[in-house]
Amino acid sequence: MDEHLSKIIICEKCGHKNKKSDTNCTQCGNPLHRDYYKGLWLRNVIITLGLFLLPFIILYFFVSSEATKHSENQVKQGLSYSIDVNALIIRSFLNERRTDLLSIAKSDIGHLDEINANTAFFQRFVTEKPWFDFIAIADTQGTVIFSTDTAKMKANIRDRNYFNESLKGAYHNSGIFYSDILDTTAMIISSPLFSKKDRIIGVIFASICLRTFYDLILELRIGQTSEIFLVDEQGVFLSSSRLGGKVLEERGHYKEDPNPHTKQKDILIHRDYRGENVICAYEKFDELHGYLVSEIDVEEALAPVIRLKNVMFSIFLIFGCILVVSSIVFSRQVTNVLKNLTHTLKVTLDDINEKKNVINTINVELRERLRDCESLSNQLRVSEEYIKNIIDSISSGLIAIDKNLCITYCNDFVKTFSAQDEVKINANVYDIFPILKKEEIKKQIDGIFLNKKPFRISKVPVGSDGKELILSIAGFPIMVMNDITGATLLINDITEQEQLHAQLADYEKLSALSQLALGAAHEINNPLLGITTYIELLLEEEKNVERKSRAKEVLDSAYRISETIRGLLNYARPTPPKFTKISLNKLISETLSFLHHQPLFKKVVIEKNLSDAVPQITADANQIRQVLTNIFINAAQSMPDGGKLTVVTRKVKFQELTEIEITDTGIGIPDEHLKKVFEPFFTTKKGGGTGLGLSISYSYVKNHSGEIAISSELEKGTRVTITLPIRQKATIKSEVIE
């Protein structure tokens, strides 16, 4: 019943039952479905126009803005160029006129009465240089006593600024002004007139021919309304403009606006004397007390932009009309097609609904299979991660490469051999791991792909980041269907193993040395005991002071031999130090005194700076003496051509510690050797030295709960700092070295 009702539709107008596939009622013709497409074409037209208008408006304003800027920049450049060219010409002209006037300012006359005798010279000067209207000379009272044009110049000029400035000894340019004497505009340049004795006897001045001067201002025109002219500091015209500006009567800017020419040089937009907006470039002329101005109407300057806007608007209007018509036609066609498609889809939808249950059943089965696949995928992912963790956890480097020697996989450990911060998959293995470029290794890797056989290099030295490494490398081919597709490289760092083997050999040497030391101690100590006993008896019986002193030195040396043997035995078979209270400064002085006579110290200058504030300390005197001796000898050996050995002692502030600082000016120690200097048997002395001196010293200082540090700079020297506690926890004997 429900299924039957779902396949019919009731007409809202007459109540007749129709098939769901019917579009109109079969009885009354009323549409059975709401017309969703009514007005669709109109909406499409509106949306299309909106989508067209928005980008066009944005484009219109953007192009207009950029075109305006570009056009303004071009005009400004043209105006600026016009100003620069004319400014150069005007300055050159004025400098030449100044030179002309100054050339005749120094006369060969002794008094003004002799001026008339030179009338022919001045007349010829004015004739040959047509840029002067006339040249005149006034005495120191301002009275014009000579002029090449007497009809124009007969008045007294005492109150004129150019006269007073030149009378003070300076050249002066009056600028362009209205002269009541000449009854016209004029530009006067003046200079003091000197006699034979370089004394000012008057003022010589000349009137620049303004017609010639104005002709210098070039019309570098960039438009019909462009013009170039001069104005004074108040903006009043000093030269006529092409569009009607009157000299000394009108201003170059609009009368109701403030003077726009206020800077040394600028480009701006303002209203000119006609009330038109203009683009103006100007530059100040201090010589003329005004500005050189070049202008063009904004309307003309931006005319190309306005034409561009009109063209764009016309194009928009044409295409807009075409678009409206096209949108209406296209929208109606699309609407009709959509109506037909909708009807067809409704019919098809009924069939789809019938098959929906079948699809749902299939979907349930697919979901179950998908869950099984996801479970299997998770298991594979876990297994892959597990295997990867195992590979990454091994302490060997693993690299997988293809036939092109590109990396397809590598574990974390092998990244320590990389020359780059990041190991990139598909990168060339030799680029990422340069250590494999070594001929011995590269030959074996390349051989895998030729021979399809594994290889093994048990030990090969390589350099990595400035360090020497010893590696063990093995390679294995990856075969698929009897064809090699790649290779796996296994890299082991056996540097520490080899170092341990070397140390083991050194320890075997040390064991042999211990046996030798024990035998030497037995063979040396017995005769030495007899020597010391004899000398001690000799000291008791000897009355001669000098002989007794020499005998005591021999006895001390014998004691040192005994202690040296004991030190060697202590390193091979260490014994606890014998702590006593000692004077550190005294011990240093005695050690240096003993060594100073050795040939090794012949060229060494020894400087001691032993602080009196250093108290007595608890220490084994023989061990500390041995430490000092080893360091002093090393310092002297680093200065074969001589140098300076400095020893400083001090008490560490606020701590129960003393400090010994030993500095030499020797060859220094390289950085890579500084870390190894305290290692047993480490030495840089070719064919000499056992490498035990600093090792024994380090051991003795540590026996005293102290610290020893070495810093060095190549070719500058080495500093050794020994820090010792003032008191030890061990039992203190009563012996004190004084």
pLDDT of residue 710: 92
Which residues share a beta bridge with 406?
A: 428
Contact 399, 433 (CB under 8 A): yes
Are residues 465 and 513 part of one domain? no
Cα maximum dimension of the chain: 160
Which structure tokens are listed for 472? 């063990």
* Sheet of strand 227-232, all strands in order from the earlier edge strand to the far edge: 227-232, 290-297, 277-285, 265-271
Are residues 630 and 671 part of one domain? yes
* Identity of the residue numbered 634: N
* Sheet of strand 200-208, all strands in order from the earlier edge strand to the far edge: 144-147, 132-138, 200-208, 184-194, 172-179
Residue 374 lies in a domain: no
Are residues 714 and 596 part of one domain? yes
Residue bearing the bigger pLDDT, 200 or 152: 200
**What is d(CA 476, CA 487) in angstroms, rounded to the nearest whole number?**
6
* CA dihedral (134, 137, 141, 144) positive or negative: negative
Closest to 562 (Cα-Cα) out of 590, 588, 532, 535: 532
**What is d(CA 610, CA 594) in angstroms, rounded to the nearest whole number?**
17
pLDDT of residue 220: 60
Question: pLDDT, tens digit, for every residue of 523-574?
Answer: 787 787 788 888 888 888 877 878 878 888 888 887 777 766 765 665 556 5
Are residues 730 and 591 part of one domain? yes
Residue 403 lies in a domain: yes
Give ∠ CA 188-91-239 in degrees, rounded to 5. Answer: 60
CATH number where 501 lies: 1.10.287
pLDDT of residue 652: 92
Residue bearing the bigger pLDDT, 686 or 473: 473
Structural domain count, the chain: 4
Contact 488, 400 (CB under 8 A): yes
Residue 270 lies in a domain: no
Backbone angles phi, psi at 269, to 5 degrees: -115, 130
Residues 6 or more apart in contact with residue 180 via CB below 8 angstroms: none
At 34, is the pLDDT very low, low, confident or very high (cuts 50, 70, 90)? low
Lowest mean pLDDT among 113-122, 178-187, 456-465, 583-592: 113-122
Terminal CA-CA length for the chain: 127
At 41, is the pLDDT very low, low, confident or very high (cuts 50, 70, 90)? low
Domain boundary among 199, 214, 229: 214
Are residues 582 and 730 part of one domain? yes
Domain boundary among 436, 462, 488: 488
Question: pLDDT, tens digit, for every residue of 234-244?
Answer: 888 877 777 77
Which structure tokens are listed for 107? 């006369």
Residue 295 lies in a domain: no
pLDDT of residue 735: 39
CATH number where 478 lies: 3.30.450.20
Are residues 581 and 466 part of one domain? no
* CA dihedral (400, 401, 402, 406) positive or negative: positive
Residue 225 lies in a domain: no
CATH number where 632 lies: 3.30.565.10
Are residues 565 and 695 part of one domain? no
Residue 333 lies in a domain: no
| Average pLDDT score, the chain | 79
Lowest mean pLDDT among 11-20, 589-598, 696-705: 11-20
Mean pLDDT of 167-182: 83
Residue 259 lies in a domain: no
Residue 575 reports pLDDT greater than 70: no
**What is d(CA 416, CA 412) in angstroms, rounded to the nearest whole number?**
8
Are residues 583 and 541 part of one domain? no
Are residues 503 and 448 part of one domain? no
Residue 323 lies in a domain: no
Are residues 592 and 714 part of one domain? yes
Are residues 460 and 434 part of one domain? yes
Highest mean pLDDT among 31-40, 136-145, 641-650: 641-650
Contact 475, 489 (CB under 8 A): yes
Contact 120, 129 (CB under 8 A): no
At 7, is the pLDDT very low, low, confident or very high (cuts 50, 70, 90)? low
Are residues 594 and 538 part of one domain? no
Helix axis angle for 119-128 and 40-105, nearest 10°, is 160
Domain boundary among 470, 488, 506: 488
DSSP annotation of 156: B
pLDDT of residue 551: 81
Contact 719, 670 (CB under 8 A): no
How long is the chain?
Answer: 738
* Portion of the chain with pLDDT greater than 70, in percent: 86
Highest mean pLDDT among 51-60, 99-108, 405-414, 514-523: 405-414
Backbone angles phi, psi at 423, to 5 degrees: -90, 115
* Residue 140 lies in domain: 106-214
